[in-house]
Amino acid sequence: MGKKNKDDFKPFIPADKVVPEMTVVSVIIGLILAVVFGAANAYLGLRVGMTVSASIPAAVLSMGIIRMIMKRNSILENNMVQTIGSAGESLAAGAIFTLPALFMWAHEGHLDRSPGIMTIMIIALCGGVLGVLFMVPLRTALIVEEHGTLPFPEGTACAEVLLAGEEGGEKSKLVFSGLGLSAVYKFIADGLCLFPSEVHWEIPALKTGFGFDALPALAGVGFICGKKISSYLMAGGFLGWFVLIPLISIFGLDQVIAPQTAAISTLDSFGIWSSYIRYIGAGAVAAGGIISLIKTLPTIVKTFSKAMQGFGHKESASVRTNKDMPMHILLILALAVVLVIWLVPSVPVSLIGALIIVVFGFFFATVSSRMVGLVGSSNNPVSGMAIATLLITTAIFKATGNTGYAGMASAISVGTIICIIAAMAGDTSQDLKTGYIVGATPIKQQIGELGGALIAAVAIGGVMYLLDAAWGFGGSELPAPQATLMKLVVEGVMGSTLPWGLVIAGAAVAIVVEILGLPILPIAIGLYLPIHLSVPIFAGGLLREFFERKKNKTAGENGVLFSSGLIAGEGLIGIALAIFAIIKVGDKSLGEIINLGAPLGNIGGVVFFLIMLALIYCFSVKKKKELKK
């Protein structure tokens, strides 16, 4: 259905037919899922530096609850649930990619205190609302006019899931099964600590190390992304850990090379990675983001031009499936948000910062909406957009005298809002594509997106405070790789301390990758992250490739649903373990009391991870009739 062009396309629910859509049931379930997936993806993003779209799992869970439990039958209710629910994931992604930098500066003593929950809520809500508002004028140009041209992978796939749900909601059992098994696995690994969730070996002969995080969510991410993306991540990790680290070890010997203050010979593989490789990776990610933006400039201009020409045509606005939020409402809401950003004292953004947000925010909302239409949300270079924003914003603040850590905190706040705008605009465009196919009412979806942004913004501050109190950002449990990268960029530009040699070398790597015609950002992220994250993602991708070579489409679809459950289950138990870590029983936390100290060692981690891969395989090949039992 999604492949028809706009002239002969007919939505599943005709425009002249009215069925239950924005109901009390759909709104309440959607808001609950917005909080759940927002919290789960916040944990996942802080751990591995990437999040996964929540649209499909939200749609499947919606079908399981509304159809199987509540015995209601409306595809548009299910679509409204996934619209609201996926907004939480997108807002969380934008927030956790940047805001933890403020917590790290507070712990280092550079700021008086961490940002308050109210500050986080206002910043997140402003970004979420602007992301939705900026995308609305683009709907006709991107989704209607280019139907059949822009594939919108997740949006179209989500529509297919909803349409398949008309035959029954048994697929939701796969998501629940993955969620339950992943929750148990995560509790055994990181709660009871029966085996280390990060398996690692140093390899003295090669002067490097190797290992992997034996966690189900990472394998699930790999299965959803597929072999191509996961192999690019693995290639970046291999370049860092088996090319650059050995070379630095061999040539560095007993030398002390900035920014490290110890001799290279005294460092293990993690020491070399944290001191040198992540700066090279940062340069590659920044260059990749900028190159991606430059390549999309012609399409940005084309998209904006079409949007302004076609928005609000009266002859089509009277049709239910063409009704958008009125332009005057959009302008009033956008102006109100900008005034809040500028005037609310708890938000450290000046008038200059507010103007930067308006200009760059709409620019990147257009980029993001177009990009997800071409390559999907998973490959949307939101972090690249944030880095480009931070480089320019920090330079402007420094030139105008807004310096020091106060200026850096302001730059991060601006970057956070723009990052959330880009993430929310991409999610909104995918959801509106799904709605276009199934016959939803656009204005109701847009209101639903705003509701999801509101509830997720209220929740994200509490989630971040909980995780920070349990483990702190920037450590081994929650490395917050994207936020750490943003922190390094802002500090380097403001203080002129960025090791530009390493950063430029990383940018050169990105240019080489571009010359070869390969996607820069996945390889650059693989270079920036520890190889321990790329290995399990690659394993999941290889498993997905096995089914694709067997041309087993059903197994691939089942595996995606099961993997979505794996991600959600691990993320939710991660939040629970954070609570255990701050609950005191005597002199110890509850988390310390149940910790067994990993008696099974690395071998236990290998065995349990192989069992998890086997479970993904088994649930993927389940027949439909088995799922109905």
Say if CB 369 and CB 429 are below 8 A apart: yes
pLDDT tens column, 182-206: 999 999 998 999 999 899 999 998 8
pLDDT tens profile 262-307: 888 888 898 898 888 988 987 887 788 778 767 767 766 765 666 5
Rounded CA gap, 442 and 457, in Å?
22
CB 264, CB 253: distance < 8 Å: yes
d(CA 88, CA 125): 11
Q: Is 232 in contact with 518 (CB distance < 8 Å)?
A: yes
End-to-end CA distance of the chain: 30
Nearest to 39 by CA among 515, 421, 615, 457: 457
Q: Where are the domains of the chain?
A: 24-203+269-627
User: Token pair of 46, please?
Assistant: 């802080």
Pick 506 or 521 by higher pLDDT: 506
Determine the residue type at 165.
Answer: G
pLDDT score recorded for residue 121? 94
Give residue-wise pLDDT tens across range 382-412: 776 787 788 888 989 999 888 899 999 999 9
| DSSP β-ladder status, 208-213 and 198-203 | antiparallel
When pLDDT is averaged across residues 419-430 and rounded to a whole number, the result is 91
pLDDT at 169 over 60: no
Query: Pick the residue with more confidence: 36 or 123?
Result: 123
Report the pLDDT value the prediction gives residue 52, as an integer from 0 to 100.
66
Q: What is the pLDDT of residue 159?
A: 82
CB-based contact 537:216 (threshold 8 Å): no
Question: What is residue 7's predicted lDDT score, i.e. its pLDDT?
Answer: 59
C-alpha separations of 604 from 199, 267, 609 in Å: 9, 27, 8
Calculate the average pLDDT of the chain.
84
Give the model confidence (pLDDT) of 486-500 as tens digits.
898 898 888 877 788
Residues sharing a CB contact under 8 Å with residue 193, sequence separation 6 or more, in sequence order: 595, 596, 597, 598
Candidates 317, 17, 2, 20; CA nearest to 139 is: 317
Structure confidence at residue 309 (pLDDT): 61
